[in-house]
Structure formats: structure tokens, C-alpha cells
Amino acid sequence: MSETSGYSYQEPEVIKESIFIGSEALKKAPKITGVPTGIEGLDDLFFTVKEEKGKLKQVPLGGIPKYSVFNITGVSDTGKTLMVEQFAVEQAQKGDKVAFITVETPANFVIASVKYRALAMGYNFSNFEDNIILIDAASFTRLRENIPDLLSTLAYSIKEYNVKFTIIDSVTGLFENKEMMARSIVRRIFNFLKKWYQTSLLVSQKRSGHEELSAEAAGGYAVGHIVDGTMVLAKELITSQYAARMYKAQPGDLVRLFRIDGCRMSGHDTKTHFMEISETGIVKIKEPIGGKG
């Protein structure tokens, strides 16, 4: 029969490469270890389960799970940038390459801030400054507005410099004026980071002051369901005696809070913790607000 209809029928095909039996898939499964973050108090909040004499035991992972993609969210001035810079410095200091995609602040300003972070952490930045690879999407509009260009540039950097860690500050800046696209943009980035085995921190901005500690408020919404896990940063101005008692603070104090809002790749602490930003801009995670017990 001749093909005159213009519709070419394709015989369904079995894609055998897409089928894996359990043991084969397991051979390719990455071993999940902890990546120390350089953020005091954070590494102990992730767990894994180990078998010991036939019993399952919870053991600390000692960092965020390797190959995880995390969303760091919070309103303005909650310490998101400080936190990801601190993480970048810690990885670079150990000798690993970090791609830092800056979307809001030009690269030369970011590197000055990262250098200061290193100094505050007690490191000599000149020993490892080239381990930070900046991709300036703040100055290059095309990278900010065209995700394929951004990801091609990142792929090039990963290959060229053997990058293991990727930071984006912030993904929110990549869907400015096109919030409807947020999910698909974040999904593309997420799939890309997974394919390249990048342990990643994506900063996302929350506009709303409501539901301070939930990841669902605007901004965090698109990202939370797609990535492996979310860390929520918040600040609260103490205005009542009730809040003062609850947070063991004085009226007028600013209290900083931190919570891990889910992590698919490992067990994790679920409590709300106090967070501190030192005078030199070092982020520390402190005790849970309800006490240790």
C-alpha cells in the first residue's frame, strides 16, 4: 500500500535499554555519603540507616547527601547568600571545583564577598580561589533569559574544570516576569544537575512574610516539589512577651530560624532550629527552639 495520507505510522518499538533488573540498576546506583557543608550545626541533621547485626540503626550522614539538589529558601536578608557562599568556600578549600551561577549580583562583587567569607572561615583564599568558577548571568542577560544557553555554559564549565558542585543564586531570578514557567525551568535545571552528578544548592526567594517557615509560600512553591530537599531560613522580630518567652529572647530582638523541609535522599532532623549569623557573616545552626529533648 502506498503512503499517500501524509501520516506515517510507526511500528511501536521496545526500548530495551530502558529496562533494568534490580541488581543491574543497583550497580549504577551512586553510594550516598555526606558532604560536609562548612556550616556549623548543619551536618549532624542528616541521617542514614545502617544494618548492624540484623538491626537497623540511624547514623549521622555528616553532611548533605552527595548528589542532592537542595532548595535554600527564605525572604530577603535571611542568610541564603551567606550560607551558599560558605558552602562554596568549604568545597573549594577541600580542592573541589564549584560552579557559582550568579543571577542577581555581578561576578566581581560575588567573588569579593566569597573571599571575605573564606577569610572569616579562617582560610587563605588565594590558595584555592580558582576552584570557584563564576558564571555571570547577572551581567549576561542572555544566560538569564535563555535556559538552554545557561545550561550549555554550565555543561561546558563542568567538563572544562571538572566541576562537582553547583550553586545558583538565585533561581527566582531566572523566572522573573514568567512565574508560570517556574516549574518547567526548575525541572530542566534539576534534571541537568542530576545528569551531571552535581551536588547543588539553589537559592529561591520567598516574597511573602506569611508562613515564614513553610516552603510553600510564593517563590519556594515551584521549587520545593521538584528538588530533593528544601532548607527554609526565616527571621522573626520579637514583638510580644509570648514570642519573647517562646524564643528565649527580648522584645525588639531579631530571631533567626532554620528548618529542613524534607529531603528525599536521606533521613533528616525535622525540628525548627535557632540560626545565628556572626558579626563576620558566618552562618551557624543552633539548638532546636523547643530544646534538645
Ligand X SMILES: Nc1ncnc2c1ncn2[C@@H]1O[C@H](COP(=O)(O)OP(=O)(O)OP(=O)(O)O)[C@@H](O)[C@H]1O
What is the contact surface with Mg ion in residues (CB under 5 A)? 81
Which bin fits 252, alpha (ψ -120 to 50), beta or left (φ > 0)? Answer: left
Residue whose CB is nearest to Mg ion in the complex, by number: 81
Provide the mask over 186-225, with x wherever binding to ligand X is found by CB under 6 A and - wherever it is not.
-------------------x--------------------
d(CA 72, CA 159): 26
d(CA 291, CA 9): 66
Question: Which residues are CB-neighbours of 44 under 8 A, at least 6 positions away?
Answer: 60, 62, 269
d(CA 40, CA 86): 10
- Report 255-284 residues binding ligand X (CB under 6 A): 277, 279-281
Q: Rule CB under 6 A: is residue 74 a binding residue for ligand X?
A: yes
Q: Rule CB under 6 A: is residue 76 a binding residue for ligand X?
A: yes
Q: Rule CB under 6 A: is residue 164 a binding residue for ligand X?
A: no
Could you say which of Mg ion, ligand X, none residue 13 binds, taking C-beta under 5 to 8 angstroms by partner kind? none
- Give the nearest distance from C-beta 214 to ligand X in angstroms: 16
Give 129 or 160: the residue with its C-beta nearer to ligand X. 129
Provide the mask over 127-156, with x wherever binding to ligand X is found by CB under 6 A and - wherever it is not.
------------------------------
Q: Rule CB under 6 A: is residue 92 a binding residue for ligand X?
A: no
Q: Which three cell numbers stand for residue 65?
A: 547527601
Q: Rule CB under 6 A: is residue 160 a binding residue for ligand X?
A: no
Please give the helix or strand (H or E) that residue 243 lies within, else none. helix 241-246
Which bin fits 86, alpha (ψ -120 to 50), beta or left (φ > 0)? Answer: alpha
Instruction: Answer positive or negative: Cα dihedral of 26, 32, 33, 35.
Output: positive
Instruction: Name the site residues for ligand X (rule: CB under 6 A).
Output: 74, 76-82, 116, 205, 277, 279-281
